[in-house]
Amino acid sequence: MNTLASYAVTTTKGRLHNEDPPKYRSEFQRDRDRIIHSTAFRRLEYKTQVFINHEGDLFRTRLTHSLEVAQVGRSVANALNINVDLVEAICLAHDLGHTPFGHIGQDELNSCMHKACGEGFEHNLQSLRIVDKLEERYADFDGLNLTFETREGILKHCSLKTAKTLGDLGTRFLKGTEPSLEAQLANIADELAYNFHDVDDGLRSGIITLEQLREVSIIDEQLTSLHKKYPNLDGRRLHKELVRHLINMTIYSLIESTTDNLKKCNIEIPDDVYKADPIVAYSESMVSQQKELKKFLHKNLYKHSSVMQLRFKSANIIRGLFDAFVSDESILPEAYQKKVSVQGLHRVVADYISGMTDRYAYRQYNRLFTVENI
Ligand code: MG
């Protein structure tokens, strides 16, 4: 801990509720531990990343995605000598607010909330709401009472209107400044992890092929060099070697471009980071390579008819549940009914639905709408 770089975050601005400092852990280790023990974290195991949760046991879920983001984050943080514990805490918490059924779940809930009450639903803000308010496990406060720095990292973006309601946490959006290096890293580690694990899962599912992937230059280069080194390698082992190499070379590239940026911008202390352009960033050529890959995945994986069919079904479930609970609050679980007078019906319904795992949402939907279950 005491050998961290001068631009690393080493102390906290504090927590929403005062607590004694931890005895044998750092403040950020305490945050990480609280996140791991939370209910929202365990729910991630049964929430979809891209492939619907029950489609296959080996596809990523929100939980394994979050663990991979934390692994990428830790690797880069170690190399840059910044605060690994803070990076890990942010990475593990970054998707706590995700709905069931991946992005389609969030988009549908967002549209339901807009139509019903003019408010939206955004998973980033929901992650913050979970750690600040919704977890119920401490005698002295709601939420997990995390440090400012972890909360700052969780809130990757928000509207100016929302920023005005968030006190200290909203200031950077109003002033247009950047967050800590640790927060910047967690953000880019998320993207790095999902781009490559989506390639991995896409190949595994058979929806995309290695031949198709050759149209992405970064992948074509890696495949050519792998073929040269291992002429007889094919099948699953080639696919796994490819993904491993892609992750490695992108992490190396990120470490190198960030080290350059730290020097170029004369970053010495955390305050320098807030005022500068993003420091934890890819080189220009890596940015365009990543864009090319994203475009490929969008066209060939995320929009593939088998993925779209499940999305269609998932959107119907979210909408059906939302309309049902809003039309008759007496079918909400009692613990949620009790919150309606304080938080408003729509927000309570959004909290309830977004907290569901995929299979819990299916079960609730069947319970309410399927005749055979009676
Ligand atoms: Mg994520």
In tens, the pLDDT along 156-204 reads 988 899 999 999 999 999 999 999 999 999 999 999 999 999 999 999 9
Ligand 1 centroid distance, CA of 102 (Å): 10
Residues 158 and 223 both lie in one domain: yes
Residue 230 CA, ligand 1 centroid: distance in Å: 33
In 3D space, the residue among 168, 175, 169, 136 whose CA is nearest the CA of residue 152 turns out to be: 169
Same domain, 210 and 322: no
Residue 55 pLDDT level (bands cut at 50, 70, 90): low
pLDDT in tens, 222-251: 999 999 999 999 999 999 999 999 999 999
Mean pLDDT of the chain: 94
- State yes or no: pLDDT of 135 exceeds 80: yes
User: Is 296 inside any structural domain?
Assistant: yes
Same structural domain, 342 and 231: no
Structural domain contains residue 5? no
Q: How confident is the model at residue 58 (pLDDT cuts 50, 70, 90)?
A: confident
Is pLDDT of 319 > 60? yes
Question: 292 and 363: one domain?
Answer: no
**Is 2 part of any domain?**
no
What pLDDT score does 311 carry? Answer: 87
Same domain, 205 and 285: yes
Predicted local distance difference test score (pLDDT) of residue 2 = 57
CATH number at residue 108: 1.10.3210.10
Tokens representing 100 are 């069931």
18 inside domain: no
In this predicted structure, what is the pLDDT of residue 59?
Answer: 82
- Total domains in the chain come to 2
For residue 50, the model assigns a pLDDT of: 72
3-state secondary structure string, the chain?
A: CCCCCCCCCCCCCCECCCCCCCCCCCHHHHHHHHHHCCHHHHHHHHCECCCCHHHCCCCCEHHHHHHHHHHHHHHHHHHHCCCHHHHHHHHHHCCCCCCCCHHHHHHHHHHHHHHHHCCCCCHHHHHHHHHHHHCCCCCCCCCCCCEHHHHHHHCCCCCHHHHCCCHHHHHHHHHCCCCCHHHHHHHHHHHHHHHHHHHHHHHHHCCCCHHHHCCCHHHHHHHHHHHHHCCCCCHHHHHHHHHHHHHHHHHHHHHHHHHHHHHHCCCCCHHHHHHCCCCCCCCHHHHHHHHHHHHHHHHHHHCCHHHHHHHHHHHHHHHHHHHHHHHCHHHCCHHHHCCHHHHCHHHHHHHHHHHCCHHHHHHHHHHHHCHHHC
Domain finish residue from 279, 307, 335: 307
Query: Cα(250) to centroid of ligand 1, in Å?
Result: 17
Note the pLDDT of residue 374.
52
Provide the CA 177 distance to its chain's centre, in angstroms.
Answer: 21
DSSP lists the bridge partners of residue 147 as: 15
Cα(155) to centroid(ligand 1), Å: 12
Co-location of 296 and 320 in the same domain:
no
Q: Kindly give the distance from the C-alpha atom of residue 303 to the centroid of ligand 1, in angstroms, as a whole number.
A: 19
pLDDT of amino acid 370: 86
Note the pLDDT tens digit of each residue in 107-117: 999 999 999 99
**Does residue 339 lie in a domain region?**
yes
CB within 8 Å of 316: residues ≥ 6 apart? none
Distance CA 83, CA 86 (A): 6
Could you read off the pLDDT of 254-304 as tens digits, one per residue?
Answer: 999 999 999 999 999 999 999 999 999 999 999 999 999 999 999 999 898
**What is the CA(305)–ligand 1 centre distance, in A?**
23
User: For residue 8, is it within any domain?
Assistant: no
Centroid of ligand 1 to alpha carbon of 50 (angstroms): 11
The mean per-residue pLDDT over the stretch 17-40 comes to 97
Q: 270 and 126, same structural domain?
A: yes
What was the pLDDT predicted at 310?
85
Is pLDDT of 373 > 60?
A: no
> Which residues fall within 8 angstroms of residue 153, CB to CB, at 6 or more apart?
86, 89, 90, 93, 94, 179, 180, 182, 183, 186, 187
Distance from the alpha carbon of residue 193 to the mean position of ligand 1, in angstroms:
8
The mean pLDDT value for 295-315 works out to 91
Q: Which residues have a beta carbon within 5 Å of ligand 1, which is an ion?
A: 95, 190
Q: Residue 306 pLDDT more than 80? A: yes
Q: Taking every pair of C-alpha atoms in the chain, what is the biggest distance, in angstroms?
A: 68
Asked if residue 85 and residue 131 are part of one domain, the reply reads yes
Strand partners, 48: 61
State whether 44 and 150 are in the same domain: yes
End residue of a domain, out of 273, 307, 341:
307
CB 60 within 8 A of CB 51: yes
Q: Which of 307, 333, 361 corresponds to the end of one domain?
A: 307
Q: How far is the CA of 347 from the centre of ligand 1 (A)?
A: 23
273 and 188 housed in the same domain: yes
- 93 C-alpha to center of ligand 1: Å? 9
95 CA to centre of ligand 1 in angstroms: 5
Query: Which phi and psi angles does 143 have, rounded to 5°?
Result: 75, -165
CA separation for the pair 357, 346 (Å, rounded): 19
Same domain, 251 and 348: no
Say how many Å lie between the CA of residue 190 and the centre of ligand 1.
5
CA of 63 to the centre of ligand 1 (A): 10
| 46 within some domain | yes
Tell me which residue range forms the domain holding 64. 27-307
Is residue 97 pLDDT above 60, yes or no? yes
In a shared domain, residues 300 and 312: no
> What pLDDT does 65 receive?
95
Percentage of the chain surpassing pLDDT 70? 97
22 in a structural domain: no
CA-CA distance, 128 to 123, in Å (whole number)? 9
- Residues 88-93 have a mean pLDDT of 98
